[in-house]
Amino acid sequence: MLKQKPLAAAVSMAWLAVAGTPALAQTDAGSAPMQTVEVTGIRASMARSLAVKRDATANVEVITAEDVGKMPDKNLADSLQRLPGVAVRTDYDEAEKVAMRGTNPDMSLIVFNGHTVSSGDWYIADQASSSRSTSLSLMPSSVLNQAIVYKTSQADIVDGGLAGTINVTTRKPLAQKERLAGLVSAGASYATLPGKTAPDLNASVNWKNEAGTFGFIVQGFAEKRYIRRDSASRLAYGTSSGWDVINTATMKGITDASLAGSGYKAADLNGVRLPGSMSTEFVEGVRDRKGGMFSLEFKPNQDLDVTMTGFTSTLKAPNYGRLKAGAMYSMLLGKASLPDGATGASAPNTNSNGQQVFASIRNPVIVTETTMYGDQLRVLKSADIMFPDGTPPQYIGNSEGFYRQGARATSSFLDLDGKWRVNPDLTLKTLLSTTRGVGKTDFDQGLTYASFGTGVSYALAGVDNAPYVKYYGTGIKPDQLVVRTISGLKTTDRETSGQIDGEYRVAKGWLQSVAGGLRYADHHRDSARRYPAFHNRDITIGAPTSTVPWPSNFGAGLDGPAGWDNTGYTFDPAVLMAYFQGATKTTTDDYERRIASELHMRERQSAGYVMANLEGERWSGNVGLRFVQTRINADIPTPIPAGVCLRAAPGQPAIPCAAYPDAITNSGDLQPYYDNEAFKNNTGNTYYFIKTDRRFDNWLPSMNLRYELTKEQIVRLGASRTVGRQNYNLLGAGFGSPTCDAQGCRVTGPNPDIKPLTADNLDASWAWYFARRSLVAVNLFYSRIQGYAKTGTSGGATIDLWDSAAQAMKTYAVQTSQQQGAHIAGLELAYEQPIGTTGFGFTSNISRAHTKVDDGRPMVGASEWAANLGGYFENDKVSLRLVANYRSEYVNSSTAPAPTANSQGLYSVNGVLMPTAPTMAAPVTTLAFNASWNVTPDLVLAFDATNLTDVKRAYYRYSEEEQQKLDVSGRQFYLKLTYRF
């Protein structure tokens, strides 16, 4: 059972706080036009939002934030998670990516002012991913005017949101009340785990002329906070760093004699699952966000309105990760660590007096788990993994430090929005936009050391408590530097789009108006990694000689058991940077390329639609049809056998290759270029690009109907087909991992023929507005998805590649992505109400989304349950709000699984064939608080607190018996003083 506080505990805390304080207020962001949380006063904003929701035809949620300062949320994603059916993925307890109705974030589309926005990722693993999900960490809540979450689709909504679409609008100058107004805000953030304070600044001004025909808004922000995450996990190296099974035929130290007194024989342990390693790690960094927005609006008369809006944001996020890990599986197999870090079959044997030596298992504790698929497996819950007494220190694990220098993300857009009322019956709208997002890490640089000792003890705890681990005999032999790694990564996402929409008023019978429009977008995605060359083969030249111990409070929030090893060593980031500055040399940008991992995609989207708006007595609705054409061009990096095309030395012109005229021969692709060594131009693969061109057509019908049972009770029905596009790497990743055996030859690779996803959706809702600022609502929804990616499968595609072992060309079957079906069925309940005339009130919602892929697996990123409970108080001087947010377990795999990953494959454990184990994120409840005090009508003091319960985020594999990872990031507090003029 999880020890983490359930939602009920957080809710109890919330209401205790409400009862003991004079005010309670929260400013959450929400979803689309139907449920508004505005910030000019909690009660007034709730009343406005419910009015919008009642009048809307589609099923939507809305958040507005005209009065910056009462939001307890730092970005839009923080706010959206408060809404029914919305969940988020977090990084260091700041929400970042949004998922709707139990789906993966890739299936939700986020647009700004009606157009897509490119955003970069700050963490290198996400930068290397090819996800379509939008990171909202670059979007402070202060830039928002309104966020509209469309849970049902209609023909005039931009295509691409399979599960739903969120349209975020920024403020318009002429919509502001005052001719000249603005605000200046200054404050600070404090994070408890790193124990550091950082500044928080925001300023904006809006002006319009006396005639109200021209105006502008200018805003700037600078927000900074320090981060730290402490973890206990399975991450490590050695022959197996994940979960595997005991095999006494290869683990020769496991004998009846070594198990004497345990009650087990050696044969009893065969097939028992054990963790290949134990590890502790922590990451420190900073998130320094700066940027601004401007908006110019010209409205010479009531018929013409033109607005230009620009936005830019940069998040600088250098971060430093340290790891201390065991290698228990290697110990049992009698395997050591090579100086270059090679593992598995290529790793050398352990050596004690010239003989291979195997670790044994002592004092085993074995439990039986029931997996998420209902199978019974045995797990080695705790044990001592020890080398024979008297054995000199052997390889037992690794210590490493990786500093991501220059890690940053940027996002920017510029749009021109025009509206022209041609005559009383015809209105035309145009929208032109360009956007660019970049995720970049200048240098991902790190050193890995092999550690030596005589054994390790471990004991897995409950899934939400740190496991016990202790190493023996360490320090006798100094750790050995075995691996150095440095690379840089840049991923660029950009799009230019244009659209024109028109609406003609008919007003005859049920038909009120007819709308139609055209849209075209040209989207590019490019990702490339670069590897500098080293001066020397000897990695120990200039290696650090002094170390820094881990913080004395490491793991204090993980509830580690008494006596567990929570120590380690690291280096100052300046020491790492100095080592690599001395070890690397300048070549050329071309030579530093790693073609095999590059991604180059172009996607052109064309769409047209027609929609009829209908209205009768007590009912209204719309029906429409949208046509979407997606054309995709991908450059797929394809290997050329070593020596077929000669490689050019750095700075030399590319060498033509007759066999492959398109070969790229001036890239290094990880081939060494050492000082005082002759350059070898015939080693390693060279590459060329296979260029693909595919076109996919989709017809998307939609219908929405709204009916008033009474003035207070509204029912809605929606039916639609939506489309979502596959992640880029499934279409254009390179080939890798070629293998030939008795069953033939296989290689992993992309599938350019994989079609976009489509979903047929039904939505029914009932809402009762039984009093002012009060609502009871019920939503039912169902989606049947076609085209869900099934990765790691063979679909019959082949490619001819060179087999170096046979010294011949062979035909390889491509292990790639195929498609299958999935479905989602769900229920959402919402209830909010003020408490008399006291100023107190509450909001609440709960949702269930049951997802299932046709092959029986859970959907990646999908939580079945999500819930929110908030209490608030407000009067003329003070507002307070406390909100608890709950999310149930979900598959925590990357939002962009590689086609090489066997995420939908089968795995045999001790003769039981079952789906490959995903990493599951355990349920989590968070608590956020906001308070603001109107010192004067123009001066407001605000205090925010997030992650008040200092939650631990736990992860596991097949069941909670297979503890995988445990994180803690600490609490964050924000104090801010805002002056309005």
pLDDT in tens, 66-99: 444 444 466 777 778 777 877 777 777 777 778 8
Q: Strand runs (DSSP E) across 82-139, as ranges?
A: 86-91, 94-100, 108-112, 115-116
592: left (phi over 0), alpha (psi -120 to 50) or beta: alpha
Name 570's bridge partners. Answer: 548
Buried b (16+ CB within 10 A) or exposed e, 671-681: bebeeeeeeeb
What single letter denotes the amino acid at residue 627?
A: F
Task: Tally Cβ neighbours within 10 Å of residue 244.
Answer: 17
Q: Length of the chain, please?
A: 981
Question: Looking at residues 267-274, what average pLDDT do you find?
Answer: 93
Contact 918, 897 (CB under 8 A): no
Helix (H, G, I), strand (E, B) or coil at 16: helix
Higher pLDDT, 752 or 476: 752
- Among residues 157, 137, 4, the alpha carbon closest in space to that of 927 is found at 4
The distance of Cα 530 from the centroid of its chain, to the nearest Å, equals 23
With residues binned 3-state (H G I as helix, E B as strand, rest as coil), the percentages for the chain, rounded to 5, are 10, 55, 40
Neighbours of 40 (CB within 10 A): 12
Q: What are the start-end ranges of the E strands in 595-743?
A: 599-616, 619-640, 686-708, 713-724, 736-741
What is the tens place of the pLDDT at every residue in 218-230? Answer: 999 999 999 999 9
Q: Is 726 helix (H, G, I), strand (E, B) or coil?
A: coil
Output b/e per residue, 393-415; b: 16+ Cβ within 10 A: bbbbbbbbbbbbbebbbbbbbeb
User: Residue 8 belongs to what H/E stretch?
Assistant: helix 7-19
Q: Confirm if 146 and 166 have CB atoms less than 8 A apart.
A: no
* Strand 744-748 relative to strand 808-834, pairing: parallel
With b for 16 or more beta-carbon neighbours within 10 A and e for fewer, the 343-360 pattern comes to: beeebeebebeeeebbbb
For 854-907, the pLDDT digits (tens) are 887 778 888 899 999 999 999 989 999 899 999 999 888 654 455 555 555 666
Which pair of tokens denotes residue 595? 């073609």
State residue 236's pLDDT score. 67
Q: Is the pLDDT of residue 532 over 70?
A: yes
Which amino acid is present at 511?
Answer: L
What is the arithmetic mean of pLDDT over 373-394? 93
Beta bridge partners of 956: 920, 963
Q: What is the pLDDT of residue 905?
A: 60
Nearest of 275, 399, 302, 321 to residue 92 by alpha carbon: 321
838: left (phi over 0), alpha (psi -120 to 50) or beta: alpha
Give the lowest-confidence range in 28-32, 347-351, 392-396, 756-760.
Answer: 28-32
Torsion of CA 445, 451, 457, 461, to 10 degrees: 0
CA atoms within 13 A on the CB side of 486: 20
Within 10 angstroms of residue 798's Cβ, the number of other Cβ atoms is 15
CB environment 302-324: b (16+ within 10 A), e (fewer): eeebebbbebbbbbbbbbbbbbb
Question: Mean pLDDT lowest for which of 373-387, 479-493, 704-718, 805-819?
Answer: 805-819
Give the whole-angstrom CA distance, residue 142 versus residue 710.
38
As given in the structure block, the two tokens for residue 281 are 């790690």
306-354: pLDDT as tens digits = 999 999 999 999 999 999 999 999 999 999 887 766 666 668 899 998 9
Average pLDDT over residues 179-186: 94
pTM summary value:
0.89
Outline where DSSP puts E strands in 129-179: 146-150, 164-169
Enclosing H/E stretch for 79: helix 76-80
Residue 419, Cβ neighbours under 10 Å: how many? Answer: 16
Residue 15 pLDDT greater than 50, yes or no = no
Condensed to tens digits (0 to 9), the pLDDT of residues 898-948 reads 555 555 566 677 777 777 767 889 999 999 898 999 999 999 999 999 999
**Mean pLDDT of the 181-208 span:** 95
Compute the distance between CA of residue 607 and CA of residue 627 in angstroms, rounded to an integer: 5
Amino acid at 314: T
Give percent above pLDDT 90 in the chain: 66
Written as one string, the DSSP assignment of 397-410 is EEEEEEEEET-EEE
CA atoms within 13 A on the CB side of 428: 8
Residue 542 has phi, psi (to 5 degrees) of 75, 10
pLDDT of residue 180: 96
CA distance 253 to 360: 5
**DSSP summary character for residue 928:** E
pLDDT 10s digits, 100-149: 887 878 888 999 999 999 988 888 888 887 778 887 888 887 787 878 88
Token pair in block for residue 296: 């110019």
Q: How many Cβ atoms from other residues are within 10 Å of residue 22's Cβ?
A: 12
The C-alpha angle with vertex 618 and arms to 613 and 622, in degrees rounded to 5, equals 20
Q: What is the DSSP string of 933-964?
A: EEEETTEEEEEEEE-TT--EEEEESSSTTSEE
Closest CA to 813 of 756, 753, 896, 741: 741
Taking the CA atoms of 671, 676, 678 and 679 in sequence, report the sign of the dihedral they define: positive
SS3 of 811-824: the string is: EEEEEEEEEEEEEE
236: which 2 tokens?
């490590």
Q: CB–CB of 558/968 below 8 Å?
A: yes
**∠ CA 208-210-216 to the nearest 5 degrees?**
10
Could you give the count of Cα atoms lying within 13 Å of 915 in the half-sphere of its Cβ? 20
Distance of CA 30 to the CA centre of its chain: 19
CB 34 within 8 A of CB 60: yes
- Cα(977)–Cα(68) distance, rounded to whole angstroms? 11
Residue 805: band (very low, low, confident or very high) from pLDDT cuts 50, 70, 90: low
| Straight-line distance from the first to the last Cα atom of the chain, in angstroms, rounded to the nearest whole number | 54
Residue 834 has pLDDT above 90, yes or no: yes
Cβ–Cβ under 8 Å, residues 48 and 908: no
Q: Which amino acid is at 126?
A: D
Report whether 225 contacts 191 (CB < 8 A).
yes
- The whole-number pLDDT of residue 343 equals 60
> Which pLDDT value is given to residue 631?
98
